[in-house]
Structure 1
Amino acid sequence: MQGNEAAALYRLLTWLSPSFPVGAFSYSSGIEWAVEAGDIADAASLRGWLAAMLADGPGFCDGVFLAQTHRAASSGDDAGLGEIVELASAFAPSRERHLETSAQGRAFVEIARAAWNCAALDRLIACCGGAIVYPVAVGLVSAAHAIPLAATLHAFLHALTSNWISAGARLVPLGQTDGQRVLAQLEPIVAATAARALEASLDDLGSATFRADLASMRHETQYTRLFRS
């Protein structure tokens, strides 16, 4: 492995590790309400719920935003970058989902600047203007460090899926082995979603996971909550 490839892999493993302190463990993306409502009750129903979120909901949309951010940042399209930042922030379907993605995006950028800063990242952040949501933040930082888009996108979707499974495993609850089985079963869907997001444009954005969107709204008034979303 060449030096640049090793550095890119090291940074991706660090930034998208569960130990990178963006607070992902405190969000469930509505899964907490889905468990209480009985939509998710075991490993099979968790797998089905997450497969839909990946392929037809926030997984795909976040993948498109990351890819478009990375390309705009890498090509110096500052005007296009600003439009992507604004659209991505407006795309969250509920107040809690917006909190989830904006808080993680802010934390990701702040920690990256504190520990892995570079001149290119400072310039890109200055072009953004508004709130930087999580997939946009990952796209910005990875582009600033010249990390390849395809690897970044796949790693991001893997981290997103892993966090959803972690929330589901704690809520159902499921054992660690069941959680790993779900992650293994979702591998082809993560890969297919990443491939679609790489080929998609902003015009291809769209979600059909209405139940998951409703879950994120219902969670706002859920009586007993462990998670912030």
Structure 2
Amino acid sequence: MTMTMTTRTIMGITTITPDIALNLGPGAATDAAVSAAGLFDLLSWMSPAWPVGAYTHSGGLEWAVEERFITDAPSCQGWIADLLGQGPLWSDLVLFAHAFHAARAGDGIALLAVAELAHAAATGAERRLETCAQGEAFRRIAGAAASAEAFVLLDDVPEDELAYPVACACLMAQADLPLEPALAAFAHGAVANLVSAAQRLVPLGQTHAQQVLRALKPQVLVQAARAAALDPNEDPFAQMGSASLMAELGCMAHETQYTRLFRT
């Protein structure tokens, strides 16, 4: 694989796009291929129309806007990029990857261990509310509209303790989707929801919001590939890590913010 980087700046928003070329030999294949049917499922499950209540959560973004850490499109892009590269969104990708491997292998013990870690790793009440409310909603809706059997291994996880990345990974693994595109779809959904929240909070216009989302594309793809390459036999807690202390403190501060639009 060879990769070069192309940098563009439009209206103050910098986009760094990787130009990737895969050097595959004759007959070589990649497990990143997604069928049209699989793509339809990914688009459906990660769509804003999938009723998990994502639009009610801002991941602490509301506090960051209130405190003027986010004031425009570039600062919004930088904040979300940090969450994805070294914050709670990265941790979610790690948890997703490990839950995916466990579910694909039918290893209920390993899957429950990841589910327990995901619940325990939430750094505050709002982080826990955000991930568990969406996780249980996803299991409930997907069980009725996709596959109830996909969640059998999670039967012992209480409804208020199922983290969103674990629920999503379980369904996608059982649907025989490849890991890296599933991670990219999950990351895109999380980033798109934050950009949507910023539209209402900053506020950002529709054009600027889409420019931010486009600018975050390389980061989404890089972090999805990074998570897909993790060794599933290693401790996921050691692979998570987080260096977004301000975002974590802000999410906690949002719990007592006087005026707010979002649950988190």
Normalised-by-shorter TM-score class: over 0.9
| Shift in Å, 1:227 | 0.2
| Shift in Å, 1:129 | 5.7
Q: What is the 5 A alignment of 1:1-229?
A: 5-119=35-149, 121-126=150-155, 128=157, 131-200=161-230, 201=234, 202=236, 203-229=238-264
Q: Is the 8 A contact 1:17 1:159 kept in 2?
A: yes
1:93-145 Cα distance to aligned partner (Å, 9 max, x none): 110110000000000010000111253x1422225467210000100111121
Distance 1:122 1:166, change over 3 A: closer
Kindly provide the amino acid, as one letter, of the partner of residue 87 in structure 1.
L
Q: Is the 8 A contact 2:91 2:242 kept in 1?
A: yes
Any idea what SS the aligned residue of 2:155 has?
helix
Q: Is the 8 A contact 2:103 2:173 kept in 1?
A: yes
Kindly provide the amino acid, as one letter, of the partner of residue 126 in structure 1.
D
Question: Which aligned runs of 4 or more in structure 1 are off by greater than 4 angstroms?
Answer: 127-130
1:192-215 Cα distance to aligned partner (Å, 9 max, x none): 111111123412111000010011
Kindly provide the amino acid, as one letter, of the partner of residue 44 in structure 1.
P
Distance 1:214 1:122, change over 3 A: closer
Length-normalised TM-score, structure 2? 0.82
Structure number, greater radius of gyration: 2
| Structure 2 segments unaligned to the other structure (5+ residues) | 1-33
| Structure 1 segments unaligned to the other structure (5+ residues) | none
Distance 1:122 1:39, change over 3 A: closer
Q: Is the 8 A contact 1:43 1:179 kept in 2?
A: yes
Separation in 1, partners of 2:158, 2:101? 18
Kindly provide the amino acid, as one letter, of the partner of residue 166 in structure 1.
S
Q: Is the 8 A contact 1:81 1:127 kept in 2?
A: no
Deviates more, 1:206-215 or 1:143-152: 143-152
Q: What root-mean-square deviation, in Å, do the aligned CA atoms of Structure 1 and Structure 2 show?
A: 1.3
Separation in 1, partners of 2:142, 2:126? 24
- Identity among equivalent positions (%) equals 47
More strand by share: 2
Q: Is the 8 A contact 1:67 1:153 kept in 2?
A: yes
Kindly provide the amino acid, as one letter, of the partner of residue 211 in structure 1.
M
Q: Is the 8 A contact 1:66 1:136 kept in 2?
A: yes
Q: Is the 8 A contact 1:59 1:193 kept in 2?
A: no
Separation in 1, partners of 2:152, 2:165? 18
Separation in 2, partners of 1:108, 1:159? 13
| Shift in Å, 1:77 | 1.5
